[in-house]
Chains A and B, each alone.
Chain A
Amino acid sequence: MTKTLLNLAGTLVGAALMLPAQTLINGAGATFPAPMYTKWFSEYKKLHNDIQFNYQPLGSGAGIKQVTEGTVDFGASDALMTDAQISDFTAKQKTSILALPTVAGAVVPIYNVPGVTGTINFTGPMLADIFLGKITKWNDPAIMKANPSMKLPGNDIVVVHRAEASGTTFCFTDYLAKVSPDWKSKVGAPNAAPNWPTGLGAKGSDGVAGQVKQTANSIGYVELVFAEQNKIGYGAVQNKDGKYVTASLAGITAAAAGAVKTMPEDFRVSIVDSPGGATYPISTFTWLLVPQDIKDPAKKAALKGFLTWMLKDGQNMTEALSYAKLPKEVVAKEEKAIAKIK
Chain B
Amino acid sequence: MSQLSARRRSVNAIMLTLTGVCTVVAVGLLFFILGYLLVEGGSSLNLDFFTKLPVAVGETGGGMANALLGSAKVLILATLIGVPIGFLAGIFLAEWATPGLAAAIRFVTDLLNGVPSIVIGIFAYTLIVLRTKQFSTWAGGVALGIMMIPIALRSTEEFLRAVPNSMREGAMALGATKSRTIFSVVVPAAIRGLISGMMLNLARVAGETAPLLFTALNNQFWSPGWNQPTATLPVQIFTFAISPYNDLHRQAWAAGFMLLFLVLLINITARSIVSRGGLKAR
Q: Do chains A and B touch in the complex (CB under 8 A)?
A: yes
In the complex, are the beta carbons of B135 and A71 less than 8 A apart?
Answer: yes
Seed contacts A16-B224, A26-B134; 9 additional CB < 8 Å A-B pairs = A15-B69, A34-B57, A38-B56, A39-B57, A55-B220, A56-B229, A206-B57, A210-B242, A229-B244
A210 in complex: contacting residue of B79, B229, B243, CB < 8 Å = B243
Binding site for A on B (CB under 8 A): 55-59, 69, 72-73, 76, 79-80, 129-130, 133-135, 195, 217-226, 228-229, 242-246
**In chain B, what residue has the closest Cβ to A52?**
B221
Q: How far is the CB of B59 from chain A (nearest CB, A)?
A: 8
**A contacts with B, residue count (CB < 8 A):** 45
In the complex, are the beta carbons of A1 and B195 less than 8 A apart?
Answer: yes
**In chain A, what residue has the closest Cβ to B245?**
A230
In the complex, are the beta carbons of A28 and B244 less than 8 A apart?
Answer: no
> 30 pairs across A/B with beta carbons < 8 Å?
A1-B195, A5-B76, A12-B76, A13-B73, A13-B226, A16-B73, A16-B222, A16-B225, A24-B228, A26-B135, A26-B217, A35-B56, A35-B58, A38-B57, A41-B56, A42-B56, A42-B220, A54-B228, A54-B229, A55-B220, A56-B217, A71-B134, A203-B242, A206-B244, A206-B245, A207-B242, A207-B243, A209-B243, A230-B244, A232-B244
Q: Does A305 contact B (CB under 8 A)?
A: no
In the complex, are the beta carbons of B228 and A26 less than 8 A apart?
Answer: yes
In the complex, are the beta carbons of B221 and A45 less than 8 A apart?
Answer: yes
Q: Give Cα A70–Cα B225 distance, bound, in whole angstroms.
A: 20
What are the interface flags for A193-218 relative to B under an 8 Å C-beta threshold, 1 for contact and 0 otherwise?
A: 00000000011101101101100000
Q: Give Cα A5–Cα B195 distance, bound, in whole angstroms.
A: 13
Q: Does A225 contact B (CB under 8 A)?
A: yes
In the complex, are the beta carbons of B221 and A54 less than 8 A apart?
Answer: yes
In the complex, are the beta carbons of A41 and B220 less than 8 A apart?
Answer: yes
Q: Give Cα A54–Cα B217 distance, bound, in whole angstroms.
A: 11
Q: Does A226 contact B (CB under 8 A)?
A: yes
Q: Give Cα A1–Cα B194 distance, bound, in whole angstroms.
A: 12
What are the interface flags for A1-31 relative to B under an 8 Å C-beta threshold, 1 for contact and 0 otherwise?
A: 1000100110011011101001010101000
Q: Give Cα A45–Cα B54 distance, bound, in whole angstroms.
A: 14
Q: Give Cα A162–Cα B101 distance, bound, in whole angstroms.
A: 50
Q: Does A341 contact B (CB under 8 A)?
A: no
Q: Which of A64-114 contact B (CB under 8 A)?
A: 69-72
| Most central of B72, B195, B217 by chain A CB within 10 Å | B217
In the complex, are the beta carbons of B58 and A321 less than 8 A apart?
Answer: yes
Q: Does A57 contact B (CB under 8 A)?
A: yes
**In chain A, what residue has the closest Cβ to B217?**
A56
B72 in complex: contacting residue of A12, A34, A210, CB < 8 Å = A12
Q: Give Cα A8–Cα B243 distance, bound, in whole angstroms.
A: 34
Q: List 7 A-B pairs, minimum CB-CB distance, nearest first.
A: A209-B244, A210-B244, A206-B243, A38-B56, A39-B56, A70-B133, A35-B57
